Amino acid sequence: KAGVTQTPRYLIKTRGQQVTLSCSPISGHRSVSWYQQTPGQGLQFLFEYFSETQRNKGNFPGRFSGRQFSNSRSEMNVSTLELGDSALYLCASSLSGSNQPQHFGDGTRLSIL
């Protein structure tokens, strides 16, 4: 069974640009969550999508947005990039949400110059 796939693995952008990250969940999983991991702040929850609807949201500015498609694949978009957005972005999928084990992808390493 294929795991959670995140693309691209690495990305370099400059301040002010925007970026879109992609996450393909495990087949049959309907919940996809996104996280930001930095050395200073650790792992922080961004948002969760279930059946194409945002079900939960963390404390991030509106520059961070996402969506989920009918096949459960999810994308995360960050607009007007700032230096502080440099991080490892992880997505996790589960069958139905937080009451199930979360399966993580290997992440997208985003560097802002």
Partner 1 sequence: KQEVTQIPAALSVPEGENLVLNCSFTDSAIYNLQWFRQDPGKGLTSLLLIQSSQREQTSGRLNASLDKSSGRSTLYIAASQPGDSATYLCALTDSWGKFQFGAGTQVVVTP
Residues forming contacts to partner 1 in the complex (CB under 8 A) are: 4, 6, 33, 35, 42-45, 48, 55-56, 58, 90, 92, 97-107
Shortest CB 83 distance to partner 1, Å: 22
**In this complex, which beta carbon is closest to partner 1, that of residue 9 or of residue 15?**
9
What is the Cβ-side half-sphere exposure of residue 92, based on CA atoms within 13 angstroms?
A: 20
Shortest CB 5 distance to partner 1, Å: 11
Within 8 A by CB and 6+ apart from 3, the residues are 26, 103, 105
Shortest CB 36 distance to partner 1, Å: 11
- For residues 50 and 106, the answer to whether their CB atoms sit within 8 Å is no
Element (H, E) at 61: none
CA–CA gap between residue 64 and residue 46 (Å, rounded): 8
